[in-house]
Each structure stands twice: as C-alpha cells, then as structure tokens.
Amino acid sequence: MSPSSAVLGIDLGGTKARSVLLVGGEVRWARTDPTGRALDPERATNLVLEVLAEAAAHAGPAGVASVGVGVPGPVRPGTGVVRSSVILDGWDEVPFASMLSGRTGLAVGVDNDVNHAARAEWWVRGGAGGEGPDLLFVGIGTGVGGALVLDGRVRAGAGGMAGEIGHVAGGEPAERCDCGRRGCISVSVGGRSLERRLRLAPGGLSAAVAAGGTAADLLAEGARRLGAVVADALHLLDLPLVVLGGGVAEAPGFVDGVREGVRANALAEVRDACTVEPAAAGYDAAAVGAALHGTGAERR
C-alpha cells in the first residue's frame, strides 16, 4: 500500500457515494454523489465512469493509475466478485472488479467497505510511513462489521470472514441476529438490532441514547459486552490495537464502556499490551482505503 501516483477511491454506500483522488498519499480532490437502494451494478458502473472522467482532470499528466471501489456487502477474497448486499439492490455474485477493469482499461480493486475503513486506519496510524500496527477494526453502525490488518494487509481469511467480530457470541443470548443465530454480539450493539428491541424508528437510536434512560442503559451494557468479546479476540490474537469506528461508537461513553469490558475480562498479558481507540481516519476512511487497495500493492 504505497501509492505515489494518482489513485482513485470510491465508496458506494446506501445513501451516498464518496470519492477521493489520492496523489502521493494525500487527498487532492473529492466528490459526493447521492445514491439509494436502486444503485445496481449497471448504475454503479455509470457512476464510476462519470467520477473517473472528472477525477482525471485533477490527476496530472500521467492520469489516474488505478481505481478502488468499496461496496456494502461481502466480496469473494482476491476476486473482486460482490457476493450480495442487503443495502443495495441487484448485487448477486457480480464480478464488479473485472467489469470495471474492462470498461476503464485500469487496474480495479473491489472490497467490502469495512475492510477499506480498516486499511485507512492502518494508513493514518503509521502505514503511510511503512510502520502501521497490526489491528482489529470494529465498525459499529446499523450492524457490526470487522476487519483484521496483519503485517500491513487486510486478512480476508479462507471464506472472507476474518475479523467479522459481529457474529462472535457474547450478545444478549435470547436475541436473534440478522444471520439467523441467537446471541451474536451485534444484537447488543448494532443500531438496527437495538432500535428493534427499543421499538424505535430506523435511525432513532442516537437521539434516544442522548435522552438517557433505557436506550442509554442498553447501549452501555452492549459496550461492556463488546469489551468482553474484544478481550477474547485479544486472547486469540494478542493485538496491540483495537479501533472502534461507525456512528454508534461515537455515542458518549461507548469507547470507555468497551475499554471497561476489556479490563474486566482480559488477562493482564494481553490487556496491558493493547489499546482500544476511537477511529482516526475520519469521514473519508472507506474511500481512502478503497484508493489504497486499488493500487494492487496489497496482495493476500
């Protein structure tokens, strides 16, 4: 992951697409486009072509060297094939990287948006200087995603699930997860799951937590439960850093609640060797990570 030329990253989300052009590792140009469920592979391809045409005008004489794309769904490891998406319609085993490469004539990388956010965290925490830390990234938003960076690479695992801490047991045992099983940690901290349990409208969690009461108590309990799950991840992996990103992680006291759960449950050897931190890569994290991935410098 060491782009010196102009590289484009595009994060395709359920409400917006955020694009950044990195030149020498710095954001030189950015753009935001509205999206929605109807952003199927055909529409997404047209959007990428439009963004690329505009970015090229800012890329200097050598032009855009590569394109990286983030999608809200699982991607087959090393292939750029999007398996599915619950956020966008029409994505069923779509070979999106090869489709885009054929239309643009450029090297194109496609990966899950949470993996890209983890890449960006690694980059801002020393990766840009060649010294990024091993880390577990946990993205807590509507659902819970995770990604594992080891030796400067996001590890996909044999089935593409490495780092997906949201489906580790440790949540409220009686509650059913979107995956069909009961008691995954995501039922205790994921926004959609908490909104369902609290009978709130979609998107209503942060206001309810700010108002205090049951919502705040439930999220505080969830944060401590997540801390216990992180403690077990540390027992397994002994990592120096765990990063908490996503909208739910920004709730007051959430990061401290996770830290408390880690302190109460982890053995001293791993607890003392690890810090738990809020995300630092900011608003553009997934788009920046996509741009880094598109360089092809990172291989499984």
Residues that bind Zn ion (CB under 5 A): 167, 177, 179, 184
Beta carbons of 276 and 244 less than 8 angstroms apart? yes
Q: Which of 225/259 has CB closer to Zn ion?
A: 225
How are beta strands 16-23 and 241-245 bridged, if at all? unpaired
Please list, residue by residue across 35-65, b when 16 or more beta carbons sit within 10 angstroms of its beta carbon and e when fewer do: beeebebebbbebbeebbeebeeebeeeebb
CB nearer to Zn ion: give 97 or 168: 168
- Quick check: 179 and 96 in contact, CB under 8 A? no
For Zn ion, the closer of residues 182 and 263 by Cβ is 182
| Least spacing, CB of residue 276 vs Zn ion, in Å | 22
Nearest-angstrom CA–CA distance, 83 and 266? 35
| Residue closer to Zn ion, measured from CB, 177 or 279 | 177
Q: Which is nearer to Zn ion, 170 or 257 (CB)?
A: 170
